[in-house]
């Protein structure tokens, strides 16, 4: 069995998220030390909970069809990913920013983002389906008798594991929440509030990093399948264990 090297969970770091959001907003908006601390705290919280969300994942349940005597290989399809809900702590964002910015308006602002991210990440998990995953192992079948086969999934990036509905339209849904209960602090119609610039920068950064970093760099590994191979060819089909992990 292949030993899997332990690596850092493939969620974007807080510093990376912060830098990308700053680039989208521009230096005039982001130079305030108060905003810097707030953005750093929010970025760190998203990164932390993204990492925890990845760590909770398990995948598999593929229907694996394969063949081989001695060496056995197969292809699995139809499996799913399971994981815990994604949620950020609004209180942690305020506490870690190191100053009192928690008001009715700011709490509602972040709770709106939390609601949208939780829904979007859950939709991705619920919609994800594995396609054409390779398994490799051994089979004890002979030319005249059946025998057991056992195989492990070949590690692949999530982009190659399958497909789900990636997060999209975060900004629109976030702003819909804000519009439903307007607040003078976070006015979407006032360019001096920079609310729309902020919602756009945060939303687009998360959507881009979901694909470019999370899906591209995280690896699906550790699923396995066992069954009985037919005499002469080792042909067999079985359901995988759904014990795979994302690292």
Q: How many domains does the chain have?
A: 1
Inter-CA distances, 178 with 42, 51, 59, 99, 121, Å:
18, 28, 36, 24, 20
- Asked whether residue 111 is domain-assigned, the answer is yes
E-state strands within 100-208: 129-130, 133-139, 147-153, 156-157, 162-163
CB 235 within 8 A of CB 130: no
- Asked whether residue 163 is domain-assigned, the answer is yes
- Asked whether residue 96 is domain-assigned, the answer is yes
- Asked whether residue 92 is domain-assigned, the answer is yes
Strand order in the sheet with 236-239: 224-229, 147-153, 133-139, 70-77, 63-67, 236-239
- Asked whether residue 168 is domain-assigned, the answer is yes
What confidence tier does 178 reach under pLDDT thresholds 50, 70, 90? confident
Query: Measured between alpha carbons, how far is 70 from 142 in angstroms, rounded to an integer?
Result: 8
Full residue range of the structural domain in which residue 40 is found:
14-58+85-129+159-224
- Asked whether residue 229 is domain-assigned, the answer is no
Residues 6+ apart with CB under 8 A from 88: 45, 46, 49, 110, 113, 114, 117
Q: What pLDDT, on the 0 to 100 scale, is given for residue 182?
A: 72
- Asked whether residue 23 is domain-assigned, the answer is yes
Phi then psi for 76, rounded to 5 degrees? -115, 145
Query: Measured between alpha carbons, how far is 210 from 218 in angstroms, rounded to an integer?
Result: 10
What confidence tier does 7 reach under pLDDT thresholds 50, 70, 90? very low
Q: Which of 126, 147, 128 is nearest to 137 (CA)?
A: 147
- What is this structure's pTM? 0.90
- Asked whether residue 135 is domain-assigned, the answer is no
pLDDT, tens digit (0-9, with 9 covering 90-100), for 76-109: 999 999 999 999 999 999 888 876 666 777 888 8
């Amino acid at each position: 069995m292949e030993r899997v090297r332990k690596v850092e969970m493939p969620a974007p770091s807080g510093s990376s998220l912060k830098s990308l959001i700053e680039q989208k907003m521009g230096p005039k908006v982001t130079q305030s030390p108060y905003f810097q601390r707030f953005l750093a705290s929010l970025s760190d919280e998203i990164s932390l909970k993204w990492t925890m969300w990845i760590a909770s994942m398990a995948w598999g349940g593929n229907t694996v069809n394969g063949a081989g005597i001695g060496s056995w290989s197969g292809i699995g399809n139809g499996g799913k990913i399971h994981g815990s809900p994604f949620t950020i702590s609004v209180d942690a964002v305020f506490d870690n920013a190191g100053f009192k910015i928690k008001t009715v308006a700011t709490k509602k602002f972040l709770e709106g983002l939390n609601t949208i991210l939780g829904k979007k990440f859950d939709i991705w998990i619920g919609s994800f389906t594995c396609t054409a995953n390779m398994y490799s192992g051994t089979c004890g079948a002979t030319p005249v008798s059946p025998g057991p086969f056992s195989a492990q999934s070949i590690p692949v990036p999530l982009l190659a594991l399958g497909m789900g509905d990636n997060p999209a339209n975060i900004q629109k849904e976030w702003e819909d929440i804000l519009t439903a209960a307007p607040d003078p602090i976070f006015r979407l119609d006032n360019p001096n509030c920079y609310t729309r610039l902020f919602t756009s920068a945060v939303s687009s950064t998360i959507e881009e990093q979901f694909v470019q970093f999370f899906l591209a760099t995280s690896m699906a590994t550790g699923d396995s399948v066992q069954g009985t191979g037919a005499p002469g060819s080792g042909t067999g089909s079985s359901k995988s264990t759904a014990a795979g992990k994302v690292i």
